[in-house]
Amino acid sequence: MGLIYSDMELISSDDLALERRGCIQEDRVRKMKVSMLVDSGAMMLSVNETIKVRLGLSVLDRQMGELADGSRQSFKIVGHVDKGPLRRLSPRALRSEAAVP
């Protein structure tokens, strides 16, 4: 069984809300196309600093998480992210130094 990747467009939920209220134009909504490793057991999306900055995601919290090798690490919880119009991915995203670019 191999690794599975999904091509998707991530969109800043904050920007979408501003666009719906008429505060910004549609072309000002921050979004980016990415290829992400699929983890069917994941509760949150893992993003790196580049994605966090390009989408303007705010740090909402910090949370301890366990890595595949059993070690524990503190992660920043950032958000909010949408996948395409009206399709919410996760209310929050996990910001990791080791996430996929």
Q: Which residues of the chain have pLDDT under 70?
A: 1, 84-101
2 is written with which tokens? 């191999």
Residue 55: predicted pLDDT: 95
Determine the residue type at 41: G
Q: 18: part of which helix (H) or strand (E)?
A: helix 13-20
Considering the domain boundaries, does residue 101 fall inside one?
Answer: no
Considering the domain boundaries, does residue 87 fall inside one?
Answer: yes
d(CA 12, CA 89): 11
80 pairs with which residues across the strands?
A: none
Number of domains in the chain: 1
Please say whether the beta carbons of 78 and 12 come within 8 A: no
> Residue 13 sits in which domain range?
5-95
Residue 101: predicted pLDDT: 43
Report if pTM > 0.75.
no
Considering the domain boundaries, does residue 23 fall inside one?
Answer: yes
d(CA 43, CA 29): 25
Considering the domain boundaries, does residue 32 fall inside one?
Answer: yes
